Amino acid sequence: MNIRRRSFLIGAAAVMGAVLAFPSSTFAAKRIVFSGGPAGGTFQVVANAVQVYDPVKASKKFKVKAQSSAGSVENLRKVNKGKAHFGVVYSGHVYLGRNGLLKNDTNKYEDVMAVAYLYGAPAQLVTHKGSGIKSVKDLVGKKVGVGNAGSGAYANCELFFSHMGVWDKIEQNALGYNDAAAAFGNNQLDAFWLFTAFPSGAVIMAAQSNDIELVNVGKDAEDAGFFEKYPYFSKLSVPAGTYRGVDSDSPSFQDSSLWVANKDVPDDVVYEMLSLIFTEEGLAHMRAQKKTFKEMAVKDGVKGIVTPLHPGAEKFWKEKGIM
């Protein structure tokens, strides 16, 4: 063996030894993927807001990369597989997924762990004013935007509409919020469904060029026993004046939007991320991105969480005295 080749092999062995001396998480933590949602939805605003926050950008441990997705259910699957380190998922989907109860999906997504409560996500069903659509049951035979396939909006629409007995009796249009609002404005849809915080930019857009109404889905849910069957949903109303021309409260229901992590994300990374965001300055930054985030607060950090916390999050919230 010549000297040059021997030196190369010794060098390569040294490099390999250095790699093996460090855990894989050391390298994985350098680029953290935060899976958000579709355009026009609040999930993507969450991921973008975390990515651009200066103290997060300044961290020497990790570099956060916001990544778009179809929404809650896709995020559940991506985070579970480790294709994303963090994501935003509805509490109900974390619970159903963990227990193999998702519709048409018996897989158990047990590697997704809760990090923090973000905000409540209410159902909103938009129709043209004077359409005569006063209940979900009035949608039979109508063209309805039901959310992107793979999104939490789509999954919850299918869940609720199936419970109401109309899912297979409507013309389903799997569209993101902005696309649905545009199609609604062009009279290509009779109604469109959202499962996101209010005010929604997509509904604001629809209301600029159309007279709209919000269907009383809260009454539908109450009358049909929806809350008894799915107790992780809670009641609320979209306040009067939230959207142009909607001058009375619109009863509805909501799930909790959660920040989640894959179980293998290092505890110190989760802890540091929470330590940066859940400060007075960090929360002010989040609220500046969207009014929806006014709900984010240390005192509500574990609100709506019915599944296990990530160990790094558990340490953080225990230190804050809310566990």
Residue, of 11 and 62, whose pLDDT is higher: 62
Predicted pLDDT of residue 30: 76
Predicted pLDDT of residue 1: 52
Alpha helices in the chain (DSSP H): 3-21, 24-28, 42-52, 54-57, 72-81, 91-98, 152-163, 177-185, 201-209, 217-223, 226-229, 267-277, 280-289, 311-319
Give per-residue pLDDT as tens, 187-226: 999 999 999 888 899 999 999 989 999 999 999 999 999 9
Predicted pLDDT of residue 234: 86
- The contacts of residue 299 (CB under 8 Å, 6+ apart) are 322
Superfamily of the domain at 25-120+257-319: Periplasmic binding protein-like II (3.40.190.10)
Predicted pLDDT of residue 2: 52
DSSP helix/strand/coil, 89: strand
Token digits for 54?
């200066």
Per-domain boundaries in the chain: 25-120+257-319, 121-255
Predicted pLDDT of residue 316: 98
- Single pTM value for the model: 0.73
Give per-residue pLDDT as tens, 138-176: 999 999 999 999 888 998 999 999 999 999 999 999 999
Q: Say if domain 121-255 classifies as CATH 1.10.1740.10.
A: no
CATH topology agreement for domains 25-120+257-319 and 121-255: yes
CA-CA distance, 259 to 310, in Å (whole number)?
A: 11
Predicted pLDDT of residue 198: 87
The average pLDDT across 75-103 equals: 95
